[in-house]
Amino acid sequence: MSLVSLRLAAMALGAIGALAAASAAHAETSANTGDWIVDARLRYESVEQDGLRDADALTLRTRLGYETPAWRGFKALAELEGVAQLTDDFNDTVNGHTAYAVVPDPEAFELNRLQLAWSGSEGRRAVLGRQRIVLNNARFIGNVGFRQNEQTFDALRLEARPFEQAAFTYIYIDRVRRVFGDDSPQGEWDSDSHVLQADINLPFGKANVYGLWLDFGRDAPAQSNQTYGVRWSNEWEAGGWRPRLTLEAAVQSDYGSAVSDFDLGYQHAELALRRDRWTVTAGGERLEGDGARGFATPLATLHAFQGWADVFLATPPDGIRDLYAGVGYTTQPWIGGRPLTFALTARDFSDDGGGADFGTEIDASVRIALTDHVSFEAKGAAFDGDDPRFADRTKLWFAIEYRY
């Protein structure tokens, strides 16, 4: 852990102790006694991949924490996270079972979050310490919430809304605690990274203008980059339908400890149509490559993009183009008065110019909230490769989650 990370943790720990004492006194005259955090997920994941033994992973993730009540605008939060493996017939990236397909859910027990937050007027907010960060749709910075071991950040986050139609966010990231855990040489990255974003409400939608200056020093110099982009979305009503259009573009180049020079681009467009219980979506995402490397999003929630089979977690050197179409449906209330939600998406992958086929994929899921605290999800992904670099694979997940 770096010196700055130690300082962040020490400050947050000290703040939690002080706030706990203040909150205890405050609780004597107030019903607000803070919030306990209980979040558990039992999940089975199977992977059949050409060239590897089939993986069968049954894992249990549990998070326990507490957030103090507000005191003069301050709150403190502490949360532990543990991941237990109930089977070991899979490659978790650190157990040495390299003959099996990868399920990157290693055993772990760690301090997941430890933060001090302050909120004031005009949207002013500050968060210091180990925290969860999800920026926009998590394409560039996310918590990788699908994996059992969440990605968190030792960071300082500042927010303000000085104008009614504009808000600003600044984030300094000192350390990245990745999903691979403390036993992996890639489990933590030292960082000297800055993120700046402006969120602007326009008469015809909302724009997010951002800059990311990511430097990971000796831990991941090839992932260091600077990225500038803009994301725009708007939703309206038309004849009983609710269309939503999203457009995004970014440029990326070398920065900080980067080991080579590069200039790459990113484009994304998506149209979603909602009517009653149906949602139909079509879109395309393009990450450029220059033959040596592809456009990189090292802090993203990657599972949410380019297919659930996770074939393209790293952009190929010749880039990637993902064309997709999907449909979603929510039933009438069913079990316990709650609906089932279905989703089906088809994808076609090629290089960034569309000249070389990489393969196709089908993703499907069903989810239901059984109670106010318990939910069940089943999902699957089947990738059929057209390029020998990308092996055919089929993945299935069954998960039950409890949140309090």
Burial 267-285 (b: 16+ CB within 10 A, else e): bbebebebeeeebbbebeb
d(CA 56, CA 227) in angstroms, rounded, equals 38
Domains held by the chain: number: 1
Give, for all 404 residues of the chain, the pLDDT tens digit: 444 444 444 444 444 444 444 444 444 433 468 999 999 999 999 999 999 999 999 999 999 999 999 999 999 999 999 999 999 999 999 999 999 999 999 999 999 999 999 999 888 999 999 999 999 999 999 999 999 999 999 999 999 999 999 999 999 999 999 999 999 999 999 999 999 999 999 999 999 999 999 999 999 999 999 999 999 999 999 888 999 999 999 999 999 999 999 999 999 999 999 999 999 999 999 999 999 999 999 999 999 999 999 999 999 999 999 999 999 999 999 877 899 999 999 999 999 999 999 999 999 999 999 999 999 999 999 999 999 999 999 999 999 999 99
CA distance 6 to 359: 45
What is the value of pTM for the model shown? 0.90
Q: Cβ(219)–Cβ(298) under 8 Å?
A: no
Q: Which domain, by its residues, includes 43?
A: 3-403
Is residue 402 within 8 Å of residue 371, measured between CB atoms? no
Strands 125-131 and 108-119: antiparallel
- The CATH number of the domain where 261 resides is what? 2.40.160.10
